Structure formats: C-alpha cells, structure tokens
C-alpha cells in the first residue's frame, strides 16, 4: 500500500534510501555475515546469567545512569564514569552524535553504512571521501576535505568495516589536534581483533570520542555500546540520549558479562585472531580472488563483479551466509561502487571456516 499524501511528509533523502536489510536463508549452517563472535556462551555462564536476570525488578524503570555497568566499564578502562555515555549498541551512539553535533559529518568510503543512514535520518549532509583501490586512506585528501567542508563530526572506523583495513591510528589523533572544532570519532568496534586504541591519548584531546561495543565480543544480542570522551562531550550527548535507552535486562546482562564473561570472550576473540591469517590465505588460494588485509574479525574478498553475487547465492543455498556487496540493493553501497564484486566473510569457528572453504572450492570448480 502506498503512503498517499503522507509521502509529502517524508524528507526527500529518506524517500530515496533503503532500510537496512539482512537476507536470511531458510537453513543456516554457518552464519558468517554479521561480524559476530561465532562462539555461544558456555552453559555455566548462561545458567548464572539466567539467575542474575531473575533478580531484575521488571516493574521498575531501568537506572537511567546505568550506574553498575558504568562503574565496571570505568574501572576496566581506567577512566572516570563521567567520561562514559551508553547506547543501545553503538548504532544509537552514532545517531546521538549526529543529533547532538547536528552538522555535516565526514567519513571515508566504503565504511560502516550506519554513519550514512544516521545522517539521512537526521537530514544532515554526509561528505564521503573515497578510499584508494586497496581501501587505504589518502590522508592528504581526507585532511583537505575536512578543511574544505568543516564537518561537525568525522567518523573513522579503526579498523574499518567492511574492508578490515586498519589505518594509521595516530592520524585520528593528529586530526583531533588540528581540527579542534570537529568531533573526531575513533570507532573501535573491532578493538578486540586489532589491539589498537586511541584511549591512552584521550586526555590530550577534548574533541576525541572513542566508541566501543560489546557486540563483537559475544554479546551482539545485548545491544550495549558506549563512548569514552571528555565529560563536556558526554554532557551534550546526554541531552539527546533517550533516558531509558538501556533496559534493566541490558544493564544486568552487561554487568554480568563484564564481571564474569570478560576472560571467556577475550580468549575466544584471540582464537579468531589466530584463525584469521589461515582463512585469508585459504581464500586467496581460490581461483581469481583478491583478499584484503584485515585487522578485524572479517575478511573482504573480491571475486569479481557478477561472479561474487553468484557465489553468494551458491553459498546461501548451501546454508553458508556471508555478506554480499555485489548487488545494487546494498544500502549505502551503490552498484558498480568500490565494493562491486566483493563478499565480506566473518571469521567463524574452525568447523565453519572449513565448511565455507569446502563449499567455495565446489562452487568455484563448477563455474
Ligand atoms: C565499525 C562499526 N561500528 C559500529 C557498529 C555497530 O555496532 P553495534 O552492534 O554496537 O550497534 C558496527 C557493526 O557492525 C561496526 O562495524
């Protein structure tokens, strides 16, 4: 059914954009499409989590300050609780940053698509600076774009999704020093896989925001992320944060996870890091593929335009789900753009990686 006269009420930018859509084949044997940690929590941890959640008073609103989680995160990162803002995943933090510092945003492309979606939702301009053919950042061109457009916010995913590339971390700090009237966001969603962070330099940069999430280390279902910054930035973000954005269950589960599950998830993330080079090498050994170096829990592979989409479908038919960037409908990633011909593959368990490679071997043999 059409919107009828309501269509006039929808901003032009939204009319032309598409919603974030995740295709789900009926039967999934290996889910390698969303950069999640591939391991389920051990049963003992899940039982203890269940007991902790049973204590949550659901008849009450959540603690709007999320004090328990705040104190734990602050202690674990050696910062003060005043430097933290919590979001329903970092997606919500990105939207909050766009609302709070409402002005043009600037980021390299291709990158995490939600920067663009958040700017469209807020009706603010997005300035996109192309990466080079190997998805490296042209620092001089990037700096020129900032000087020319004077954005309110610069988003740098360090490492980048969907390419896995890790640009020079110090560049974010240099930008923060040179552009004091711009919020520089170091989006460290994949820090567990790159071991690189701008955190030790936070005190030197009042305009630097470090963004983290629990999603990539075994808690994507929770939807908990946080920013670390100078308290003055937190004060602005707090003005646009929905007061109860973290439910009581989110808070209790996040607190439990930070207290009890952190060693488990760090050890599992280390397994993924150890498995990444072999997966990348095995993918590179397939006929006519180009594999990009990754510092995240993903590997971007170029199979070629048209070919990648066919391979994606073949994998999906066999229950192996990876992310397809080789089709016109990918939000934020236009047909024929730099990701044409590419599939993004999350590093899975040893069994999932083996299954993926076996199916890819069959599919590429029968092309
Ligand atoms: C670079 C980057 N930032 C942020 C996010 C969003 O994470 P969350 O699950 O916390 O919303 C993702 C998710 O894929 C990501 O790749």
Domain ranges for the chain, please list them.
8-42+262-365, 57-260
Probe ligand 1: pick from 37, 161, 192, 246, max atoms within 8 Å of CB? 161
Q: In this structure, what token pair is assigned to residue 238?
A: 């707090």
Whole-Å CA distances, 361 to 87, 297, 326: 41, 22, 19
Q: What CATH number was assigned to the domain covering residues 57-260?
A: 3.40.640.10
Q: What is the pLDDT of residues 131-188, one digit of tens each?
A: 999 999 999 999 999 999 999 999 999 999 999 999 999 999 999 999 999 999 999 9
The two structure tokens encoding residue 125? 């301009």
Supply the residue whose CA is at minimum distance from atom 12 of ligand 1. 189
Q: Which residues have C-beta atoms less than 6 Å from ligand 1?
A: 35, 89-91, 112, 157, 161, 187, 189, 213, 215, 220, 225
Out of 112, 188, 220, mutate this one to test ligand 1's pocket (max ligand atoms within 8 Å of CB): namely 112
Phi, psi of 130 (to 5 degrees): -65, 140
d(CA 9, CA 221): 33
CATH of domain 8-42+262-365: 3.90.1150.10
Tell me how far the alpha carbon of residue 266 lies from the centroid of ligand 1, in angstroms.
18
> Virtual CA dihedral for 282, 288, 291, 292, nearest 10 degrees?
170
Instruction: Give pLDDT, residue 105.
Output: 98
pLDDT digits (tens, 9 = 90+) for 175-220: 999 999 999 999 999 999 999 999 999 999 999 999 999 999 999 9
pLDDT at 329 over 70: no
Give the CA count within 13 Å in the CB-facing half-sphere of 71.
6
15 C-beta neighbours (distance < 10 Å), count: 10
Ligand 1 atom with minimal separation from the 157 CA: 1
Pocket test for ligand 1, best of 89, 98, 194, 295 (most atoms within 8 A of CB): 89
CA of 195 to the centre of ligand 1 (A): 17
Residues paired with 226 in a beta bridge:
86, 212
Local structure of residue 42 (DSSP, 8 states): P
Which atom in ligand 1 lies closest to the alpha carbon of residue 34? 14
Task: Round to whole Å and give the CA distance between 151 and 143.
Answer: 11
Helices (H), the chain: 12-15, 43-54, 67-77, 89-100, 114-122, 139-149, 169-178, 191-194, 231-240, 248-256, 262-284, 307-317, 350-365
């Amino acid at each position: 059914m059409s919107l009828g006269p309501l269509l006039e009420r929808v901003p032009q930018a939204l009319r032309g954009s598409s919603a974030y859509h995740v295709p789900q084949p009926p039967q999934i044997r290996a889910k390698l499409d969303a950069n999640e940690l591939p391991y389920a929590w051990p049963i003992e941890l899940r039982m203890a989590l269940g007991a902790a959640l049973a204590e949550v008073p659901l008849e009450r609103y959540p603690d709007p300050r999320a004090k328990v989680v705040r104190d734990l995160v602050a202690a674990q990162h050696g910062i003060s609780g005043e430097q933290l803002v919590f979001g329903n995943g970092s997606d919500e933090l990105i939207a909050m940053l766009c609302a709070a510092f409402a002005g043009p945003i600037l980021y390299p492309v291709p990158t995490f698509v939600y920067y663009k979606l958040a700017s469209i939702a807020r009706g603010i301009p997005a300035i996109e600076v192309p990466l080079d053919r190997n998805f490296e950042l042209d620092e001089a061109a990037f700096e020129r774009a900032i000087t020319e457009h004077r954005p309110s916010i610069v988003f740098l995913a360090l490492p980048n999704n969907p390419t896995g590339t890790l640009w020079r971390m110090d560049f974010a700090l240099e930008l923060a020093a040179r552009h004091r009237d711009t919020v520089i966001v170091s989006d460290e969603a994949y820090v567990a896989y790159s071991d690189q962070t701008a955190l030790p330099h936070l005190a030197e940069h009042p305009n630097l925001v470090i963004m983290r999430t629990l999603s990539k280390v075994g808690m994507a279902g929770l939807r908990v992320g946080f920013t670390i910054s100078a308290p003055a930035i937190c004060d602005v973000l707090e003005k646009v944060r929905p007061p109860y954005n973290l439910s009581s269950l989110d808070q209790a589960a996040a607190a439990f996870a930070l207290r009890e599950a952190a060693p488990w998830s760090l050890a599992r993330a280390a397994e993924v890091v150890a498995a990444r080079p072999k997966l990348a090498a095995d993918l590179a050994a397939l006929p006519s593929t180009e594999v990009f170096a990754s510092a995240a829990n993903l590997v971007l592979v170029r199979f070629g335009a048209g070919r990648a989409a066919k391979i994606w479908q073949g994998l999906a038919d066999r229950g192996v789900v990876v992310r397809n960037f080789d089709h016109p409908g990918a939000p934020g990633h236009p047909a024929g753009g730099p990701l044409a011909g590419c599939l993004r593959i999350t590093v899975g368990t040893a069994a999932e990686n083996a299954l993926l490679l076996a199916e890819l071997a069959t599919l590429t043999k029968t092309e």
